[in-house]
Amino acid sequence: MKFFIDTADISEIQALAETGLVDGVTTNPSLIAKSGRDILEVIKEICDLVPGPVSAEVTATDFPTMMKEADKLAALADNVTIKVPLTIDGLKACRAITSNGREVNVTLCFSSAQALLAAKAGATYISPFVGRLDDIGEVGMDLIADIVQMYDMYPELDTQVLVASIRSIDHVEMAGLIGAHVSTLPPKIVWDMYEHALTEKGLNAFLEDWKKTGQTIL
């Protein structure tokens, strides 16, 4: 499973990119607003840091303006993936953009039916929001399982399931077990994944035993 980072914070992206485990980045208007910076500058900087796909979202809601915004975003770098909402105009834009050879991430998916429409429109990625489904009493990961199963039944559909709105390490683990292609993670979730009490305990024990030997490797 690929790991994308869900942020527009350049310092966080740089720190995580240095681990060598980052496959891409996703942004959205809310994350750009939080950064307080110009969207075009931010996307360009991220694309310079990460060789993988960088999702940059259009803010228009009508097809003609979406296409104009998509052209401007795509001109920033070769690894820009255009992000569009799962609306009629968004899927029209998805079809047009992918037909021109550019990757598209269709976002704000909350049902298998929507995921099927996005795949038929040629989406490179579909982004179901598991955390937001959990918030309203549904089980977000059930949707991921349904979409993965549905796509597997139709080999001609090559859309990748990109699990979004991840709130916990459990979400990441379940996404991997279900067979999702990508998880996009807030930086904090990535850092938390490294931690386990037994890992820390075991390392401390090894270091104490090593200290007693009086040896040094260097």
Specify whether 83 is catalytic: yes
Cα–Cα dist 77/146, whole Å: 34
Cα atoms in the Cβ-side hemisphere of radius 13 Å centred on 193: 17
Cα–Cα dist 37/47, whole Å: 15
Cα–Cα dist 50/56, whole Å: 13
Q: Which of 2, 34, 83, 201 is catalytic?
A: 83
Query: CA dist 196 to 20, 76, 206, Å?
Result: 21, 40, 16
Cα–Cα dist 10/42, whole Å: 8
Among the listed residues 55, 48, 40, the one whose alpha carbon sits nearest the alpha carbon of residue 7:
55
Task: Check if the beta carbon of residue 175 is closer than 8 Å to that of residue 144.
Answer: yes
Query: CA dist 97 to 20, 53, 78, 80, 113, Å?
Result: 30, 15, 14, 12, 21
Active site (catalytic) residues = 83
